[in-house]
């Protein structure tokens, strides 16, 4: 139980990817991805992680991170923002399938997951859908906010208050226009308004993405010192040559 909560390598290779042919078993054998896992474990909040596509940043910094958040504190309420809600729904679907079908995880944490029971029936209307899920402790406590819900940037959840929010690939080729980049600054500020302030007034959030425009919201976030950047390029020396 403790290893699942603190070690993303163990969680991904032994629990989620327990089949040696599983993508989750294989991708984390790469030293670069291993290093990113350890980096995120040490500092999960307040960072902007930028790297090219195909570098498993969403796997490490979003999917595994959300699962660990729920294992550590199943009362945590999370919102995942993306460029399009359908993209965020794919992440939610993956996490739901892990929670529904991973027998090792269900056996290790019977107080969190529903075992052999149907989650949709146990949570009631709206508790286990294509855009949200509620874990057993939240349902038993009759908490109104979901364990995880998803939204597209600019179309947040009115009236919700989350313990942590993730922004996963909110900038993409199709929306990287100067006007859309400026609009998104206000939308990010609006998303921040849904955050609860925890102990010591700390607001918990994480950005993960790839750059497609020099004046994108990521640059604005860095200029305003709202995030701590972690930037990785496709070259070892971070130069074009």
Per-residue pLDDT reduced to its tens digit, 62-104: 999 999 999 999 999 999 999 889 999 999 999 999 999 999 9
Buried b (16+ CB within 10 A) or exposed e, 164-194: bbbbbbbbeeebbeeebbeebeebbeebeeb
**From CA 189, how far away is CA 49, in angstroms rounded?**
18
| % of the chain residues with pLDDT over 90 | 50
Nearest to 133, CA basis, from 110, 72, 224, 122: 122
Tally of residues, the chain:
241
Tokens matching residue 169? 């690939």
pLDDT digits (tens, 9 = 90+) for 158-210: 677 899 999 998 888 777 788 888 888 888 888 888 777 655 556 899 999 99
Helices (H), the chain: 2-6, 8-10, 23-27, 31-42, 57-58, 64-72, 85-101, 103-108, 119-123, 136-140, 178-192, 217-223
**From CA 81, how far away is CA 208, in angstroms rounded?**
10
Residue 43 scores a pLDDT above 70: yes
For residue 129, count other CB atoms closer than 10 A to its CB: 16
**From CA 96, how far away is CA 99, in angstroms rounded?**
5
Cα first-last separation, the chain = 46
Residues 6+ positions from 101 with CB-CB distance below 8 Å: none
pLDDT digits (tens, 9 = 90+) for 87-98: 999 999 999 999
């Amino acid at each position: 139980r403790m290893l699942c909560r603190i070690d993303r390598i163990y969680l991904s290779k032994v629990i989620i990817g327990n089949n040696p042919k599983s993508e989750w078993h294989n991708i984390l054998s790469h030293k670069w991805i291993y290093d990113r896992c350890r980096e995120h474990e040490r500092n999960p909040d307040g960072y902007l992680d930028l790297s090219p596509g195909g570098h498993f940043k969403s796997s490490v910094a979003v999917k595994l991170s959300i699962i660990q958040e729920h294992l550590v504190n199943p009362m945590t309420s999370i919102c995942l923002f993306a460029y399009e809600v359908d993209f965020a729904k794919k992440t939610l679907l993956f996490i739901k399938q892990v929670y529904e079908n991973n027998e090792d995880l269900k056996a290790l944490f019977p107080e969190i997951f529903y075992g052999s029971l149907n989650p949709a029936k146990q949570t009631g209307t709206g508790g286990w859908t294509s855009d949200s899920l509620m874990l057993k402790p939240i349902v038993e406590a009759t908490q109104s906010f979901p364990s995880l819900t998803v939204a597209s940037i600019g179309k947040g959840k009115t009236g919700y208050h989350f313990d942590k929010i993730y922004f996963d690939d909110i900038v993409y080729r199709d929306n990287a226009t100067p006007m859309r980049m400026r609009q998104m600054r206000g939308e990010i500020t609006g998303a921040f308004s849904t955050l609860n302030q925890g102990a010591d007034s700390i607001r918990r959030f994480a950005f993960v993405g790839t750059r497609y425009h020099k004046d994108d919201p990521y640059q604005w976030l860095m200029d305003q010192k709202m995030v701590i950047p972690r930037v990785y390029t496709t070259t070892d020396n971070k130069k074009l040559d």
